[in-house]
Amino acid sequence: MKKVLTTCPYCGTGCMFYLVVDDDGTLVGVEPSNEHVVAKGQLCVKGWNAYHFVNHPDRLTQPMIRRNGKMEPASWDEALNLVVSKFKETQAKHGNDSVAFFSSAKTTNEENYLMMKLARAVFKTNNVDHCARLCHSSTVLGLAATFGSGAMTNSISCMEQADCILVTGSNTTEQHPLIGSRIIENVTNNGAKLIVADNRKIRLARLADIHVRWKNGTDVAFLNGIMNVIISEGLEDKEFIKTRTENYEELKKIIADYPPERAAEICGITPKEIVDVARMFAAADKAMIVYSMGITQHTHGVDNVKSCANLAMLTGNIGLPGTGVNPLRGQNNVQGACDMGALNGVFSGYQKVVDPTTREKFEKAWSVENLPAEPGLTITTAIDAAAEGKLKALYIMGENPMMSDPDQNHVREAMEKLEFIVVQDIFPTPTSEYADVILPAASYAEKNGTFTSTERRVQPVRKAIEPVGQSRTDWEILCDVAQRAGYDGMKYNSASEIMDEVATVTPIYGGVSYERIDQVGLQWPCLDKDHPGTPVLHSGKFARGLGMFSPAAYLPSKELPDEQYPFVLSTGRCYFHFHTGTMTRRSQMLDREERFPYVEISIEDAKELGIYDRAWIYVATRRGEVKVMAHVTDVAKKGVLFMPFHFEEGPANLLTINALDPIAKIPEYKVCAAKIRSAE
Ligand SMILES: Nc1nc2c(c(=O)[nH]1)N[C@H]1C(S)=C(S)[C@@H](COP(=O)(O)OP(=O)(O)OC[C@H]3O[C@@H](n4cnc5c(=O)[nH]c(N)nc54)[C@H](O)[C@@H]3O)O[C@H]1N2
Ligand SMILES: Nc1nc2c(c(=O)[nH]1)N[C@H]1C(S)=C(S)[C@@H](COP(=O)(O)OP(=O)(O)OC[C@H]3O[C@@H](n4cnc5c(=O)[nH]c(N)nc54)[C@H](O)[C@@H]3O)O[C@H]1N2
Ligand code: SF4
Ligand SMILES: [Mo]
């Protein structure tokens, strides 16, 4: 047996583990790593099962081309030549921005860097983006505006040092299980205070000192209410505000409109709950905010994020261990895909495309001219542009928009209108059904590279087995495309050579190399080869100099319940499955735990409507209707339905609304109006 130390391909917690390979080169299991700083000898159920899907018979093993409407096997030469000629033809006819590239938070840093290089240097478009748009784009923009850097400010180990943790819009024990364990340990072993703000009675809520179950979408009012109490009771950190921040007067002005009575009314809770949370948070020596999709996925996602940042600055909880604003990044490499510039407006290291000196720097480094200057389309606006017939060709690497983007009928329309679609994946998906060319990619177990976890830790991904069938690593495929398109600057002998190039053009990764990240990785910013990495950001000084208070007024969600659609529908995930299910639903151990699409409904609502547990019901919104199983549970609050988006046969995104935050362009997955009826 051979054991290969690598990084988990599921969530952003970034546990490292060993892939176990038997003598004839077959992947047979996973073993945790006792030495790893985050995993500490443990894994969650997805980590333990992260080898099953690799050998699944459904793996894509050979390139395919659509001929006369039917997908047929093709050679790599045929497939890649077709991709390049179609993209060039489309651009010649309709301009450079008539094509777009979806990069992937499932793939490595090196691959994301190459995808954005391919889009910008070779095809001269900034139409490149990835699923962070659907996830933490509000964080990237909201924290960049307030702190100057859009990443988790602290480290996972800080969860054990905080005296008070406010968890809001994060189902931590299910979605970032090993981070959830840290929080539980701190609460049970050290008596840290825990405030859970989530209207579902999630596992952490059962342990919390205070659990607030306000209405979905009212976070700005809630956080403003807390800040109002803190200021009116004189609990703010005056020294921190004076020396480290600006724009405090503006904050005070807006916050004055949210006395606890008014905030509580908007949120549907009592003023006392707001006062209690404010006092508990402000009283702690080291208080930390942990959040995830409940904060970001709203038409006011950026305002929510800024409000979290305001609260942390108001109480001086930034720049020290055990404090901070901690967005838990979702995908295994979504932090890295952002860092690498797989976003419409930035090169790697968040260097802006609109800045002429930055463009000049990349033109020189890549030996090209005329890099495009205007930010391009995002995932969400690219789908809109395709539906309008403006976008003509799309290259999708490791994304499944038919299942993950809002309003599936709208996405279908976009897919049908696109003239040419390339899908590069490890499995067939509802998206690949629309492909004109399918390129089979090697999985994480079959390649070298790096993933960057939520705590900004760059960690190794190592090849344990040979790629299945004719599949090739994403980075080799992208280099091949670039060469066939006539570009010479994308030739590498190894993934490590790509990281060396990343380090030369990306200051925050300046000191990252494969040698240095060998065992436990390195946390960026890591500016040069002697820099030790940075566990806590903004110590002494914010990345932007002074922290910028950025107050926001409460805005209601786009589509609220009414007589016709009386429920709030909120969507998200469960413990056993990951996203669109391409991998977890092909792991027999995981799939048998949660086999059917379902919706959580409160005991009160179920009683009223005569719906019993495990009954089949229809959930409908203005966009469509799906049949799912009812989970009648005290996790759900009266009036609120919660549905995971893992199931192709009951797709939550047939129901969701395509309403976007005006700045971040993130969809409002967490709130829309719905109704239900029995299916039996
Ligand atoms: N098992 C598993 N783990 C995963 C994933 C997975 O698919 N499966 N996906 C990964 C990814 S990419 C991500 S982004 C993360 C997401 O991780 P989370 O954000 O933790 O997961 P969600 O289920 O989307 O939503 C979290 C919580 O937000 C609450 N919420 C809903 N509306 C609101 C609101 O208006 N305000 C507040 N404060 N809370 C609200 C919901 O009740 C829910 O409990 O998980 C990562 N980890
Ligand atoms: N309703 C609703 N919708 C949501 C959300 C929600 O909360 N509610 N959350 C949103 C969020 S936070 C996210 S992050 C997105 C996720 O949206 P997506 O990224 O579209 O979802 P995934 O299922 O993770 O898709 C990843 C794809 O990559 C493939 N893949 C895996 N490994 C590799 C590899 O090494 N190479 C290649 N080429 N492909 C690979 C997988 O098979 C899969 O098809 O969904 C969003 N959609
Ligand atoms: S917590 Fe996340 S990174 Fe760790 S084993 Fe589970 S899915 Fe993998
Ligand atoms: Mo995500």
Which positions of the chain have pLDDT values less than 50? none
Strand 437-440 and strand 64-67: pairing? Answer: antiparallel
Is the CB of 15 inside a 6 Å radius of any atom of ligand 3? Answer: yes
Q: Among the atoms of ligand 3, which is closest to the Cα of residue 44?
A: 6
Answer for the pair 164, 280: CB distance below 8 angstroms, yes or no.
Answer: yes
- Find out whether the beta carbon of 46 lies less than 6 Å from any atom of ligand 3: yes
pLDDT score recorded for residue 388: 97
* Ordered DSSP codes for 363-420: HHHHT-S----S----HHHHHHHHHTT---EEEEES--HHHHSS-HHHHHHHHHH-SE
Residue count of the chain, please give it: 680
d(CA 158, CA 264): 31
Does ligand 1 lie within 6 Å of residue 167's CB atom? no
Give yes or no for residue 623 CB within 6 A of ligand 2. Answer: no
Tell me how far apart the alpha carbons of residues 8 and 298 are, in angstroms, rounded to a whole number.
29
6 lines ligand 3 (CB under 6 A): no
Least Cα distance to 652 among 586, 541, 571, 579 occurs for 571
CA 553 to the chain's CA centroid: 25
Residue type, 664: A
For ligand 1, whether the C-beta of 175 sits within 6 Å is yes
Question: What's the pLDDT score for residue 234?
Answer: 98
Ligand 3 contact, 444 CB (< 6 A) = no
Q: Which residues pair with 672 in a beta bridge?
A: 569
Sketch out the chain's domains with CATH numbers.
Answer: 2-55 (2.20.25.90), 64-134+336-523 (3.40.50.740), 137-328 (3.40.228.10), 567-678 (2.40.40.20)
Could you tell me how far CA 39 lies from the centroid of its own chain? 20
Q: What is the DSSP letter of 125?
A: -
CA dist 177 and 105 (Å) reads 19
Q: Which atom of ligand 3 is nearest to the CA of 47?
A: 5
Two tokens, residue 7: 């990084």
Give the mutation target among 44, 331, 584 for probing the ligand 3 site: most ligand atoms within 8 A of CB. 44
Strands 393-397 and 99-102: parallel
User: How many angstroms does the Cα of residue 106 sit away from the middle of ligand 3?
Assistant: 13
| Vertex 359 angle, CA 353 and 363, to 5° | 135
Atom of ligand 3 nearest to the CA of 332: 3
Nearest ligand 1 atom to the CA of 331 is: 12
Ligand nearest to the CA of 60: 2
Q: Distance (Å, rounded) from C-alpha 543 to C-alpha 149?
A: 6
Write out the DSSP string of 80-123: HHHHHHHHHHHHHHH-GGGEEEE--TTS-HHHHHHHHHIIIIIS
Q: What is the pLDDT of residue 182?
A: 96
Task: Among 7, 51, 106, name the best residue to mutate to test ligand 2's pocket (greatest count of ligand atoms within 8 A of Cβ).
Answer: 106
Separation of CA 131 and ligand 4 centre (Å)? 7
* Ligand at shortest distance from the CA of 211: 1
| Distance of CA 587 from the midpoint of ligand 2 (Å) | 16
Q: Which ligand is nearest to the CA of 9?
A: 3
Distance 515 CA to ligand 1 centre (A): 35
Say how far apart CA 660 and CA 673 lie, in whole Å: 16
C-beta 652 within 6 A of ligand 2? yes
For 6, the enclosing helix (H) or strand (E) is strand 2-7
Closest residue by Cα to residue 502 from 517, 491, 512 = 512
Please state, in angstroms and rounded to a whole number, the distance separating the CA atoms of residues 409 and 20. 42
- Could you tell me how far CA 230 lies from the centroid of its own chain? 32
Amino acid at 250: E
Sign for the CA dihedral angle at 302, 303, 307, 310 comes to positive
What is residue 680's predicted lDDT score, i.e. its pLDDT? 82
- Tell which one of 579, 657, 665, 669 to mutate to probe ligand 2, the residue whose CB is within 8 A of the most ligand atoms: 579
Across-strand partners of 460?
Answer: 450
The pLDDT value recorded for residue 342 is 98
- What single-letter amino acid sits at 219? D
The alpha carbon of 399 and the centre of ligand 2 are apart by a number of angstroms equal to 5
Give per-residue pLDDT as tens, 595-615. Answer: 999 999 999 999 999 999 999
SS3 call for 440: strand
State how far the alpha carbon of 565 is from the alpha carbons of 560, 613, 629, 631, in Å: 9, 22, 19, 20
pLDDT at residue 519, rounded to an integer: 78
474, HSE (Cβ side, Cα atoms, 13 Å): 32
Backbone angles phi, psi at 424, to 5 degrees: -115, 105
Question: Is residue 570 within 8 Å of residue 215, measured between CB atoms?
Answer: no
590 lines ligand 3 (CB under 6 A): no
Centre of ligand 4 to C-alpha 120, Å, is: 25
Nearest to 313 by CA among 231, 407, 193, 398: 231
Q: Which of 19, 178, 461 to mutate to test the pocket of ligand 3 (most atoms within 8 A of CB)?
A: 178
Q: Is the Cβ–Cβ distance between 17 and 6 less than 8 Å?
A: yes
Quote the CA–CA distance of 16 and 257 in Å, as a whole number. Answer: 47
Report the separation in Å between the CA atom of 26 and the middle of ligand 3, taken as the mean of its atom positions: 22
**Residue 43 is encoded by which pair of tokens?**
């894994």
Q: Which ligand is nearest to the CA of 578?
A: 1
Please tell me the predicted confidence (pLDDT) of residue 18: 97
Q: How far is residue 429's CA from residue 435's CA, in Å, rounded to a whole number? A: 10
Phi, psi of 290, deg, nearest 5:
-120, 125
Q: Give the CA-trace dihedral at 534, 537, 543, 548, to 10 degrees.
A: 180
Ligand 1 centre distance from Cα of residue 353 (Å): 31
Ligand 2 pocket check for 333: Cβ under 6 Å = no
**214 close to ligand 1 (CB < 6 Angstrom):** no
Q: Give the C-alpha separation, 98 to 389, whole Å.
A: 10
Is residue 627 classed as helix, strand or coil in its secondary structure?
strand
Can you tell me which atom of ligand 1 is nearest the CA of 298?
35
Cβ of 342 less than 6 Å from ligand 2 = no
Query: Ligand 1 in contact with 575 (CB < 6 A)?
Result: yes
- How far is the centre of ligand 3, averaged over its atoms, from the C-alpha of 425 (Å)? 21
Report how far ligand 1's centroid is from the alpha carbon of 575 (Å): 10
The answer to whether residues 536 and 154 touch, using CB atoms and an 8 Å cutoff, is: yes
- Give the pLDDT score at 433: 97
pLDDT of residue 518: 87
- Asked if 570 and 576 touch (Cβ cutoff 8 Å), the reply is no
